[in-house]
Amino acid sequence: MNREIAVVAFAQTDHRRTSEEFSEVEMLMPVLHEVLGQTGLKTADIGFTCSGSSDYLAGRAFSFTLALDGVGAWPPISESHVEMDGAWALYEAWTKLLTGDADTALVYSYGKSSPGPLRDVLTRQIDPYYVAPLWPDAVALAALQAQALIDAGDTDEPALAAVAARSREDATANPHAQLRGSVPHGEYAVRPLRTGDCPPIGDGAAAVILAAGERARELCARPAWIRGIDHRIEAHGLGVRDLTDSPSARLAAEKAGAFERPVDTAELHAPFTSQEVVLRKALRLDDGVRVNPSGGALAANPVMAAGLIRIGEAAALVHRGESDRALAHATSGPCLQQNLVAVLEGDPR
Amino acid sequence: MSKEPVAVIGIGQTKHVAARRDVSIAGLVREAARRALDDAELTWADIDAVVIGKAPDFFEGVMMPELYLADALGAVGKPMLRVHTAGSVGGSTALVAANLVAARVHGTVLTLAFEKQSESNAMWGLSLPIPFQQPLLAGAGGFFAPHVRAYMRRSGAPDTVGSLVAYKDRRNALKNPYAHLHEHDITLEKVQASPMLWDPIRYSETCPSSDGACAMVLTDRAGAARAPRPPAWMLGGAMRSEPTLFAGKDAVSPQAGKDCAADVYRQAGIADPRRDIDAVEMYVPFSWYEPMWLENLGFAAEGEGWKLTESGVTELDGDLPVNMSGGVLSTNPIGASGMIRFAEAALQVRGQAGEHQVERARRVLGHAYGGGSQFFSMWLVGAEPPTS
């Protein structure tokens, strides 16, 4: 089914270490209003709504049900939810638009990491029988990956520090970033990763609007057409994976058509500096490609929204005429277990 | 270009029980998936993508367990999506998977939903206090009992209707080898004498807490042509949502449920559901929801649903059988319950439902709902492919 679908609007919160004065709905509502405002659409005009969030971050079952209050789901709406990063909610919405059942979709996601100890919370994401009882957290697992890269000669600590410095320098131009400018690289968090190699922990939300065909051109001067989008998962057990590579990201990129022509920009969801090294290799990004002009996840990493933000940031560059062909990437799970790649293009200028 | 028709060619369930202590979560889901593949006579390599659903992660204490389940479900190197839309999730998951086929993104998709409730206590998992929100009060029963009471008052239904539903569903379950509760000595008197839990809901009028999984293989027209057994064809499918609480909400017959059914009927060309649909697998976690949903889904006029139940229309040999499998009242692995409804509807039109098969079931509705009667997912499946 050859239906052209584009990202036509994107909005995000200012990401912060804590948003304890706001509920999730209060955090989300301004973003929803902003993204709808960009297109002039109202909730009732939207054909399909899909969101991504995690009960474990919120600390309660069915946490996403209350977010519907922010959407204003009355009269009733056609709606779905994934317990995944919002990038996968966008994927579900994309398939819905492909079927022709809807012409527009609202996609949003949010995550508040501040209510609990995020490193402990994320350990609950690991194999519950054999690994989770050891409470290995995301930083420790990323450090294993970083050490594997160093051992393989793919990077070294100064190179990782340079990734961190470049990302936070670029983030000075991003008003939503949580960590920007000159940031001390700090002590070892888990060797070989220093605090500067790790993402800031924070709260945030993001939303995009998708539209199909002519509807997209009506709603946006330069739509960011989704030329391809695909996602792949790898085995969960770290012992059976080569942590220096990301075959799932490479396969997703291939299926999304990323290798057919070079991209000018890539927004990578690499929460740890070492993961940018893995992704650059897997996605065949050479030095001519601008990587993470937003500052990426090292500048703001609201869990469950950070992947959708990569797609939104890439789309916004296309909207503004600052990119003609951009790659957006999202990840989930320990050490880049699951990866999504989208290729966005603007009409020729 | 129109949508690709979607066919169900493989169905698998585990034997639902209170606690599957013999298997891990991975073992449980793999058992159902393996049975669905066997039914379709396919292997893991024939599957293009996996779409998995379950209710809150707190029920097993694993955050986003699909990451850990990728290996067990043969998803390595493939796309894997995880859906969560509260109690309706089993249905929604099937619909998300169906869309992948309908949009021609993939040819053959494995979809699966599960819950291993013995890993925790679902009732208290649902009762966490939320600041500034009305408490759910002792699980779902505490939330839904006032809505049942409102229905009884609104419709004037006799007090006994709920017990008739429970008695019917528990007897139907005796004909379904996968059902959790097999109460061979069940009598109407026993149902009516069971302890009152949440007035007016009695112990025997509530769903059990189950460990179980359900899987389906969905495919396109070409896949259906290769299938070894008759496929079930999706004739319509829809989801609708509305907020949990708001002024003017009809908690007895929510608008989202009516809209969802209307969308499915429009897609399938159903003018009169009572006449055009042969049987229904609907999500009835508390007995009284059978007459309530009969009205919400358009099978009876408002206030009249209980008369269908009372007159035996919804019995297995009635004119409109409801929950031939024994329903949620006999089996409730929460995240899977919606998919079991969808799968049982498909089993009926495939003629594969065994002892609880309805004769000449050509078009059967699968229905699921969740949250505070706010999330709805439904599909209508038929023995013949869609004409349009």
Q: Are B211 and B118 in contact (CB under 8 A)?
A: yes
A307 and A165 within one domain: yes
A122 in any annotated domain? no
Q: What percent of chain B has pLDDT over 90?
A: 91
* Structural domain span for residue A328: 128-198+227-345
A107 in any annotated domain? yes
Residue ranges of B 201-230 with Cβ closer than 8 A to chain A:
none
State the Cα–Cα distance between residues B293 and B306, nearest whole angstrom: 10
* pLDDT tens per residue, range B2-12: 899 999 999 99
Average pLDDT, chain A: 96
The whole-number pLDDT of residue A203 equals 97
A312 and A172 within one domain: yes
A161 and A48 within one domain: no
CATH fourth-level superfamily of B7-118+208-226 = Thiolase/Chalcone synthase (3.40.47.10)
* pLDDT tens per residue, range B279-314: 999 999 999 999 999 999 999 999 999 999 999 999
Model pTM greater than 0.90?
Answer: yes
Best to test chain A binding among B1, B30, B67 (most A CBs inside 10 Å)? B67
B134 falls in which pLDDT band (50, 70, 90)? Answer: low
A210 and A277 within one domain: no
* pLDDT tens per residue, range A152-194: 999 999 999 999 999 999 999 999 999 999 999 999 999 999 9
A194 and A278 within one domain: yes
* pLDDT tens per residue, range B320-340: 999 999 999 999 999 999 999
Q: Which residue in chain B is spatially nearest to A339 when comparing CA positions?
A: B79
Interface predicted TM-score (ipTM) of this complex, two decimals = 0.97
A133 and A90 within one domain: no
Tokens 């709406």: give the residue. A77
* pLDDT tens per residue, range B226-250: 999 999 999 999 999 999 888 999 9
Least confident window among A209-213, B79-83, B125-129, B130-134 = B130-134
The whole-number pLDDT of residue B132 equals 59
CB contact under 8 A, B58 and A98: no
A297 in any annotated domain? yes
When pLDDT is averaged across residues B155-163 and rounded to a whole number, the result is 98
A58 falls in which pLDDT band (50, 70, 90)? Answer: confident
From A48's Cα to the closest Cα of chain B, the distance in A is 10
From A68's Cα to the closest Cα of chain B, the distance in A is 6
A139 and A248 within one domain: yes
The whole-number pLDDT of residue A70 equals 86
- Phi and psi dihedrals of A245, rounded to 5? -130, 165
Q: Is B113 helix (H, G, I), strand (E, B) or coil?
A: strand
To the nearest 10°, the Cα dihedral for B386, B257, A111, A98? Answer: 20
Q: What percent of chain B has pLDDT over 70?
A: 96
- Pairing status of strand B279-281 against strand B363-370: parallel
| CATH code of residue A103 | 3.40.47.10
* pLDDT tens per residue, range A301-332: 999 999 999 999 999 999 999 999 999 999 99
A280 and A298 within one domain: yes
A152 and A103 within one domain: no
A240 and A91 within one domain: no
Q: Which residue in chain B is spatially nearest to A246 when comparing CA positions?
A: B77
B141 falls in which pLDDT band (50, 70, 90)? Answer: confident
* pLDDT tens per residue, range A181-231: 999 999 999 999 999 999 999 999 999 999 999 999 999 999 999 999 999
Q: Rounded to a whole number, what is the distance in angstroms from the first to the last CA of chain B? A: 12
Q: Which residue in chain A is spatially nearest to B254 when comparing CA positions?
A: A76
State the Cα–Cα distance between residues B281 and B343, nearest whole angstrom: 9
When pLDDT is averaged across residues B139-144 and rounded to a whole number, the result is 84
**Which residues in chain B are contacts of A99 at CB distance < 8 A?**
3, 99, 102-103
A20 in any annotated domain? yes
H helix or E strand, kind and range, residue B369: strand B363-370
Task: Give the tokens for residue B326.
Answer: 């024994």
A214 and A66 within one domain: yes
* pLDDT tens per residue, range B369-379: 998 899 999 99
* pLDDT tens per residue, range A232-291: 999 999 999 999 999 999 999 999 999 999 999 999 999 999 999 999 999 999 999 999
Per the structure, the count of domains in chain A is 2
B47, with CB counted inside 10 A (0-12, 13-18, 19+), is buried
Domain boundaries of chain B, sorted by first residue = 7-118+208-226
pLDDT at residue B122 greater than cutoff 80: no
| Full 3-state SS string of chain A | CCCCEEEEEEEECCCECCCCCCCHHHHHHHHHHHHHHHHCCCHHHCCEEEEECCHHHHCCCCCHHHHHHHHCCCCCECEEEECCCHHHHHHHHHHHHHCCCCCEEEEEEEEECCCCCHHHHHHCCCCCCCCHHHCCCHHHHHHHHHHHHHHCCCCCHHHHHHHHHHHHHHHHHCCCCCCCCCCCCCCEEECCEEHHHCCCCCEEEEEEEEEEHHHHHHHCCCCEEEEEEEEEECCCCHHHCCCCCCHHHHHHHHHCCCCCCCCCEEECCCCCHHHHHHHHHHCCCCCCCEECCCCHHHCCCCCCCHHHHHHHHHHHHHHCCCCCEEEEEEEECCCCCEEEEEEEECCCC
From A226's Cα to the closest Cα of chain B, the distance in A is 14
A121 in any annotated domain? no
pLDDT at residue B388 greater than cutoff 90: no
When pLDDT is averaged across residues B195-210 and rounded to a whole number, the result is 96
pLDDT at residue B136 greater than cutoff 70: no
CB contact under 8 A, B242 and A74: yes
A209 and A293 within one domain: no
pLDDT at residue A144 greater than cutoff 80: yes
